[in-house]
Structure 1
Amino acid sequence: MVLEAAVLYVKPGMEKEYEGAFRQASAIISSMNGYLSHELQRCMEVKGKYLLLVEWEKLEDHTVGFRESPEYQEWKRLLHHFYEPFPVVEHFEKLDLT
Structure 2
Amino acid sequence: MILEVATLQIKPGQTAAFEQAFAQAQRIIASMPGYHGHELQRCVEDDHQYVLLVRWATLQDHTEGFRGSARYQEWRALLHPFYDPFPTVLHYSAVTPSLS
Q: Return the alpha-carbon distance in structure 2 between the equivalents of residues 6 and 68 of structure 1.
A: 18
Partner amino acid for 2:17?
E
User: In the TM superposition, what whole-angstrom CA distance separates every residue of 1:27-59 from its partner, at most 9, and x where no partner exists?
Assistant: 000000000000000001002000100000000
Superposition RMSD on alpha carbons, in Å? 0.9
Partner amino acid for 1:69?
S
Give percent identity, aligned residues only: 55
Partner of 1:92: 92
4+ residue runs over 6 A deviation: none
Count of residues in correspondence between the two structures? 97
Aligned-residue offset at 1:96: 3.1
Q: Return the alpha-carbon distance in structure 2 between the equivalents of residues 35 and 46 of structure 1.
A: 28
Partner amino acid for 1:87?
P
Aligned-residue offset at 1:88: 1.1
For structure 2, list consecutive stretches of 5 or more residues without a partner in the other structure. Answer: none
TM-score, L = length of structure 1: 0.97
Partner amino acid for 1:22?
F
